[in-house]
Amino acid sequence: MTFAVAPVLNYSGQPDLDPLRLADLLASELTYVRGAAVLPVSRVAAVLLSQGKTQVESPEHARALARQIGADAMIVGGVTEYDAYAPTVGLVLQLYLTDAAGSAPLDLGEARFRSSPYVAVRATPKAGPSAQVQGTYNAMHKSVVDRVREYARERSETDHPDGWRQYTQVQSLFIRFCWNDALRAMLDQDSWKRDLVAGTADVSETYHE
């Protein structure tokens, strides 16, 4: 199954965040899903630029953009809160399937991860995203630290001088962890898998934030 990742939407009020860099980190974490092919973020950005836009503006736009670049699904991420010093990251992820997604293979056995208790899954109308998660990650909270340590073990970083702690000390690494954890929760949802079988519904012009 081929995924595209849109430039990340910045709702945090922090002007330093780079939407393309954040999207690159999200796309990189998505490559760890077996059976997932991930198109370069630069390809999505180039098409948006040709449209005179810098970001996805609606569910219809997300699906149309995915079809235009040959993807089965578009992932749109947003940062709702950001504090580099705690660190704390609030984020939202949305998955939009195209009509062609039903014929695209994906190893759901590998994609079906344990849902994160720290990411709140919200139901959405059929015209909205096929799957969606939202939550906040605070590196001072034990539940987050426990999952950071598990993530570090998966990446074989336990021999690093700072061990798993580097993932709470280096901003880009903590953001990687947050994207990874949210992706696991989103891909664990059954709603988008039902959409894969049934086909996507008609889209509305309302963008669900």
* Domain boundaries defined on the chain: 2-198
Give me the phi and psi of 153, to 5 degrees please: -65, -40
Stated pTM of the model: 0.80
Q: How far is CA 135 from CA 48, 51, 149, 152, 178, in A?
A: 27, 31, 19, 20, 9
User: 71-87, pLDDT tens digit by residue?
Assistant: 999 999 999 999 988 89
Q: How far is CA 99 from CA 60, 94, 185, in A?
A: 12, 17, 23
pLDDT at 144 over 80: yes
User: 167-199, pLDDT tens digit by residue?
Assistant: 998 899 999 999 999 998 998 876 666 655 444
CB 127, CB 201: distance < 8 Å = yes
Q: What pLDDT is stored for residue 85 in this prediction? A: 87
The pLDDT > 70 percentage for the chain reads: 74
Categorize the per-residue pLDDT at 102 as very low, low, confident or very high, splitting at 50, 70 and 90. Answer: very low
pLDDT at 128 over 90: no
3-state class of 194 per DSSP? helix
Q: Which residue, 171, 192, 173, is CA-closest to 75?
A: 192
Q: Which residue, 131, 82, 125, 128, is CA-closest to 111?
A: 131
Q: Which residue, 39, 59, 41, 51, is CA-closest to 126?
A: 59
